[in-house]
Structure 1
Amino acid sequence: MTEQAPGPSPGADAVRAWTDTYFNRTKAVVSRFGDCRVTYAVFLRRPVISAPRLATTWLDAVAAARGTKFDIELMHREGDWVGAGDPIFYLSGSFVQLADLETLLLQKLGAACVAAHNAYQMCLELPGVPFLAMDARHCAGAEMQDMMAYAAAIGSEAAKREGARGFIGNANDATAHWFGAPRGLGTMPHALIGYAGTTVRAAEMFHETFPDSDLTVLVDYFGREITDALAVCARFPDLAAAGRLAVRLDTHGGRFLEGLDPGSSYAVLERHAPQAVRRYRSETELRHLVGTGVSAAAVWRMREALDEAGYPKVRIVVSSGFGVGKCRVVAEARAPIDVVGTGSFIPEAWSETYATADIVEYDGAPRVKVGREFLLRRNGARKRNGEGHG
């Protein structure tokens, strides 16, 4: 993963306008009555993957702009698992210089750590399948877009250390560097198929414009996934035989894949993964297995159709709601997925992303509010550039 400064964010000169007023007033009070050196413990209330770089890089930039120095003791290396309430890092420095930074600091940590944990879990649920980050369109602006791409890359690297394929890239150029890539990946949206008038014509237009690129074609626009997938294969037999052609399933949850209904969906899984439907399932799990949209049965049915027509090397790309739970269920059904496109590592329950910072030392004296004694610094903290806890 390539090192790079974080994306758009309020600079050091804009902190006062963006921080909470009580922090600005605390800064004024401490400035009047005398500065002291403080240490903050920075943590989340739920298990996460450590993703502190955006926060610590910003702290370094603010310190440089203010002509001061902050000491950061990183307790968990980037990509390490962190338990609930366990400080990710301790931050020490002048109270006057740190008092007004808490609001923006926490914004840059919590969501990244939770998204990294989601990405990590998703990759481990489907360890043999590569993922493509498609989060950008669901982000609230460029700063969140940069944060979510960074988080997916960190979660991916953590999963790769446990044997997963992880994320192979993302869908836009601006954040591709987090995945060690020069540019984003992707071929066509539904809009291109609407413009072309048919799925085959859209594929032709794309191939004529980008003849050296592999071709991934959306096949759900007209509700004829099987028919249009086979038509594209017949139009590009050389690409199909060379493994350079893929079909992407993005069937929405309002209907079944072409030719399927509840009964035939169960029948598909009985042929390929009967154990997946013979155990108790929640309503959500059943929908992932045999319901509408891109279910495990839909993927298996597409694989059947491609193989029966003589296109075993045509790959299947899936998208549409592939979060941790859906990845787990389709993995249990051994769905023959070649690539997952997803932005579902973006946290669903935003309240889970709330990071917290408490001061635990004033001029070296341990002191913290009652109930947070577990945050007091223990021996063994490691500097950011040293080796952290595994």
Structure 2
Amino acid sequence: MFWVSRLCDAAAVNIRQISMGLLIYRLTNSPIILGGLILARAVSLMALALYAGAIADRSQKKYIIQIAGAVDVFIVLVVFFSLISGYLSVENAGSWWVLIAVSFIDGLATTFKGPAADAIVVEVVGERLITNAVALTQVGQNTLRLAAPVIAGAIIDHYGFEVAFEVMAGIYIVAVVFLIFIPPSSKPVPSDRPIMNDIKEAWGYITKEKHIFLVLIVVLAITLLSMPYRQLMPIFTEDILKVDATMLGILQGVSAGGAIIGGIVIASLPSNRKRGTLMLLSGLALGISLVFFSFSTSLSLSLAMMVIVGLGQAGRMTLSVALLQYYTRSDYRARVMSFYGIEIGLSSLGTFFAAALAEGIGVEWAVGSLAFILIAGIVLSFFLMPQLRKLD
């Protein structure tokens, strides 16, 4: 039930990402406002992420995920009614503020849902199977990433954004309902201590455990430098490749296809073998493929590069989460994953920076330059961080 709920949530998230980004870019034709959409979400992610992890360690994680899911339903319906009422339109200049506002609220919901959903997995499957479980979950989510963006693009092209958000709301509702049937997986650990003390304690634990600290640092760098392409994809499809929303969905989908292959490969590997090296190689594959994608004007080459990008993303996401959960003590997991959540917020700052660069020098150089830096950073990590490379 939990697996199905997470897959429904992933499907809705993928539809929302393509719909929100493309909608605000068509309303404004501005890379900087598209970046602002991501920045609004990042601000809320970073503001409360550490508190969210501490609260998840003290509370029943299932209920946190349910409440956050209900908030997701609410914000999608706000956009839906804004569209069908005609308020959110090109003719109504400045109406895009609605998308910025709901993006901020979405960030708040994700802030609490992320650490709870990540931390609950190991309670369900146990430590020994965590890598396989995370990998298989990634395969399921990436299967939806293969289909959901294409379906979203086709719906937008043929029926409009209103129907896309209506479908999204229905999927979010299903995700919340399925959680009802999941029994509580663990007893919350109550505490009378101030939450800030828990956060400081978690930070002290992270800095003391060098394996965890190094994984977080490297994941931050990879995410910061590689993720902007995804949020800025509407600019590539509208201005560089000059294709419709369906093809935007296909580009996202083939990336998911590569991620599926990567997830299956990782899930089939012997447990706890050279995961640090594989994570670094995933980052290297990401950087190289993004350089080629950034400067491509050929749809065929862009599609091919998206497959490799997907392979790299699968390795980065699966192995980083598996390493963090494997090396983290159970009473710290949600708080450590909340630091991981802050890194996602920081990566959105990277996207905003890339969007600002795209306004001035073009999206190709903005994304391509970050990819070049990523390649250089990974190569240096191989030589300067042998302890990370040797992590199993």
TM more than 0.5? no
Bigger proportion of residues as helix? 2
Which protein has the larger Cα radius of gyration, Structure 1 or Structure 2? 1
Bigger proportion of residues as strand? 1
* TM-score using structure 2 length: 0.23
> Of the two structures, which has the highest relative contact order with CA contacts closer than 8 Å and spacing of 6 or more?
2
* TM-score using structure 1 length: 0.23
